[in-house]
Amino acid sequence: MTSWTVQPEPVDSPTAVAVIRTYLTDIIGRYYGRPARSDEVDQAIADDPTDDLARFFVAGGTVWCEDVSGSAWLIPKRPS
């Protein structure tokens, strides 16, 4: 039987940063049909930073990560 855990992680924790970079590396590689370069991942993070996430959860086992979830607070701007 596989044991799962789900835990909140600060979005800037080493675990969260590694998961986000791994995810983006996969997505960018699929898009271009080749391995993603590190600078492309850096640019994707700069273009769409994760520092606005209200919560970030990592789900997985002892030595692997199966899934992640993040949520952002969407606060409408007040009319001027």
Distances (CA, A) of 33 to 26, 27, 29, 37, 39: 10, 10, 6, 12, 16
Instruction: Look at residue 6 in the predicted model and tell me its pLDDT.
Output: 79
Cα–Cα distance for residue pair 66/39, rounded to 1 Å: 25
Decide if 43 is inside a domain: yes
Domain assignment present for residue 78? The answer is no
Number of domains in the chain: 1
Radius of gyration of the chain measured on its C-alpha atoms: 15
pTM of this structure: 0.69
Give per-residue pLDDT as tens, 26-73.
999 999 999 999 999 999 999 988 877 777 887 776 544 545 555 444
Q: Residue 34 is part of which domain span?
A: 5-72
Residue 59 belongs to some domain of the structure? yes
- Within a domain: 51: yes
* 49 assigned to some structural domain: yes
pLDDT band at 1 (very low <50, low <70, confident <90, very high): low
| pLDDT the model gives residue 72 | 47
